[in-house]
Amino acid sequence: MEPEDFLDADMTAAVEKYERMLRNNDRLYFDSDELEDVIDFYVGDNKLKKALEAIAFARDIYPFNTDFLIRKAQIISMMGDTGNALDAIEEAEAMEPYNPDIILVKGEVLDQLERFDEAIDCYERALEMTEDKSEIYLNIAYVYQNSGRFEEALTYLSRLLDEEPENEQVLYEIAYCYDVMDKPAESIRFYLQYIDQQPFSFAAWYNLGVMYNRTGDFEKAIWAYDYAILINENFSSAWFNKGNTLVEMEDYTEAIKCFKKTLELEGQDAIIFCNMGNCYEKLEMMQEARTFYKKATKLNPNLAEAWFGMGVSFDHEERYNEAIAFIKKAIKIEEEDADYWYSLADVYAKVNQHEDADHAYSRAVHFDPMLWEAWLDWSLLKLNLDERQEAIDLLDDALQMNPEIHQIYYRQAAYHYMFASKSKAYECLKRGLALSYTDHFLFLDTAPLASSDAFVQDLIDEYRR
């Protein structure tokens, strides 16, 4: 019999004895280890109220045993009653003020109460009482993270890494801190230095890849992920992230291979199926795309992105009624997604369902006023319906929300030139030229008659660089 089997047998015997006592309304003797087994059993079975009842019984027998107070504080804290948890742990502290286990639990409770400085004080006291400092360093780092002081968190994570240089959890926590602080360059520098000392740390190579990906250096991200995979070929997260990076690089065929490998390692996953569907969609293999989008929706019927992907694939094949049906399924799940409404509006416009398109465009810009492409297409819908002033008014609204988007100024300039005020057109043209001279063809393509306007040509020449 293995040692753990003996422990399980002891726990089972203690629980059976305790529950038999309760059924028979007896009063039996238990040593403290037996009662700890009973408490641990109930906690493991998520029967927290029964665990507290067992603690009350134990404290009646062993009133000066602080271990039961520690457990009481932990359980009450798990139940969300942090105020009473603090009372319990302070009662234990009054009995044994120099017990590091008590001080550690008190720090955890104070952290939950968001009394961060007091939690740090507890952990600092515990550091002076124990030789094993690793767990305390990590707890202090967590408190600093919770209180938004990430530089201080990094200090303690670095101390922990000095003691345990191969601790993968610490590497991920360091990555998290740099990510929240938006300091990818410093993070990259840290991981490169760390890899010099620990070249076979697949976690370090992986986090380096994440940071390179964040800075848009996709080639180096792939390089880092490849090293992580070389060290640990079954590291599914590296395969998955490599696939996502290849998508950013528009290498969809290689991305599919990475996602397939991730599936081999992790089993079926709705997000991975959806990503594969997106890759096939980008490769214009719409039937294959739908195959994987359908697999995604079977695993997760609430994955709006997969329903939307199917709609996009049908739109590409000019099967507009089906496209509308699937995009509406996505919107039903994520009603405030502006991109979904924008795509639905475009499909409605293609089938001349103008009223529905108008409504969908309005929802798109309502949920994301910065979606300037939707404003432009909405204005074009109005123009095609011969609602010229409404088209101009929409672009005025668009410019209020997007004052730095030159495409809107060029479109507004063209509309004014063709239908309203040439002076206003020149004003909008100037703004567009100032923001992006090279795109002035957008104005001329929409208002071709302006190409023979001498004043327009003078304006364009003035902004030529």
- The parts of the chain modelled with pLDDT lower than 70 are 1-7, 465
Q: How far apart are CA 105 and CA 85, in angstroms?
A: 10
Q: What token pair was written down for 88?
A: 């319990």
pLDDT digits (tens, 9 = 90+) for 351-395: 999 999 999 999 999 999 999 999 999 999 999 999 999 999 999
pLDDT digits (tens, 9 = 90+) for 246-260: 999 999 999 999 999
The number of CA neighbours under 13 Å toward the Cβ of 288 is 12
Q: If you search the block for the tokens 């319990």, which residue do you land on?
A: 88
Q: Residue 374: its pLDDT value, please? A: 97
- Helical ranges in 79-133 per DSSP H: 82-95, 100-112, 116-129
Q: What is the dihedral of CA 187, 191, 192, 195, to 10 degrees?
A: 180
As a whole number of Å, the end-to-end CA separation of the chain is 84
Q: How far apart are CA 323 and CA 158, in angstroms?
A: 52
The number of CA neighbours under 13 Å toward the Cβ of 48 is 11
Q: Residue 5: its pLDDT value, please? A: 43
Q: Using only the alpha carbons of the chain, give its radius of gyration.
A: 32
Q: How far is CA 74 from the centre of its chain?
A: 29
Q: 430: burial class by Cβ within 10 Å (0-12, 13-18, 19+)? A: middle
Question: Looking at the chain, how many residues does it have?
Answer: 465
Identify the three-state secondary structure at position 44.
helix
Q: Residue 10: its pLDDT value, please? A: 79
Q: Could you tell me which residues come within 8 angstroms of residue 310 by beta carbon, excluding any fewer than 6 positions away?
A: 277, 289, 290, 293, 294, 297, 326
Q: Residue 1: its pLDDT value, please? A: 34
Q: What token pair was written down for 376?
A: 């432009």
Q: Residue 465: its pLDDT value, please? A: 64
Residues 269 and 263 sit within 8 Å (Cβ to Cβ)? yes
Residues 379 and 391 sit within 8 Å (Cβ to Cβ)? yes
The number of CA neighbours under 13 Å toward the Cβ of 107 is 27
